[in-house]
């Protein structure tokens, strides 16, 4: 895809950084490999909004890697993107910490256990360590004498960006996302 871009091929090999793509309306649209964002800029489909602090040096020029680009034409989005409940997404939301004791999480726990009618929804799932998970068993936190560090919530409207980026997010993304997830940059 980048083969026809003079001088870009060298970068394409090196760039593994992710770029946030904004719709023309300023809303996050997708997360792409930086090399794809460079192609969008080069073909004048998008404008640069923010650079990351990563710079690549080629023989004749230095090159700031784009961290946010904005499409020139609005792309209609037919549905609101939501985050499916997955282990990875729950761990991201809960910062990989057990929501009962704060230790490193290893399991997913249903706060109200399924055997007691608990649902598999964002508000009822938390990351937990093996110890708390075993101790709790099929009981509620109250029954097991455990307390949640914080109330589990549904991720924010644009938090899918972090999940799509594998937990990585450049600081320059923050104004466009307004996230409650922890940013790892």
Interacting residues with Zn ion (CB under 5 A): 98, 100-101, 103, 129, 132
40 vs 126, beta carbon nearer Zn ion: 126
> DSSP code of 114?
G
Min dist. Cβ of residue 133 to Zn ion (A): 7
Instruction: Count the residues in the chain.
Output: 185
Residue closer to Zn ion (CB basis): 100 or 160: 100
- β-strand pairing of 28-33 with 46-57: unpaired
CB of 60 to Zn ion, least distance (A): 55
Rank residues 24 and 144 by Cβ distance to Zn ion and give the closer one: 144
Structure-block tokens of residue 8: 């870009």
Q: In angstroms, what is the minimal distance from the CB of 99 to Zn ion?
A: 8
| 4 class by beta-carbon count within 10 Å (0-12 exposed, 13-18 middle, 19+ buried) | exposed
Residue with Cβ nearer Zn ion (29 or 98): 98
Separation CA 50–CA 30 (nearest Å): 15
For 114, residues 6+ apart whose C-beta sits below 8 A from its C-beta are 120
Of residues 99 and 179, the one with the C-beta less far from Zn ion: 99
Helical segments of 46-168, H only: 87-93, 130-136, 141-144, 160-164
Least Å distance, CB 101 to Zn ion, is 3
Best CA proximity match to 161, nearest among 22, 16, 17, 8? 22
Cβ 75 to Zn ion, closest distance in Å? 43
């Amino acid at each position: 895809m980048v083969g026809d871009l003079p001088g870009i091929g060298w970068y394409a090999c090196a760039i593994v950084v992710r770029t946030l793509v904004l719709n023309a309306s300023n809303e996050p649209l997708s997360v792409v490999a930086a090399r794809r964002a460079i192609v969008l800029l080069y073909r004048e489909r998008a404008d640069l909004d923010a650079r990351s602090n990563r710079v690549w040096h080629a023989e004749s020029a230095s090159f700031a890697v784009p961290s946010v680009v904005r499409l020139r034409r609005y792309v209609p989005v037919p549905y609101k993107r939501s985050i499916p409940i997955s282990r990875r997404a729950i761990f991201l939301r809960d910062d990989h910490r057990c929501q009962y004791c704060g230790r490193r999480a290893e399991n997913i726990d249903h706060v109200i256990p399924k055997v007691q009618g608990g649902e598999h929804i964002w508000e009822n799932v938390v990351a937990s360590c093996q110890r708390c998970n075993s101790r709790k068993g099929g009981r509620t936190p109250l029954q097991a004498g455990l307390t949640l560090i914080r109330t589990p919530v549904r991720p924010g409207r644009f938090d899918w960006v972090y999940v799509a980026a594998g937990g990585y997010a450049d600081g320059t993304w923050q104004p466009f996302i307004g996230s409650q997830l922890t940013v790892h940059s």
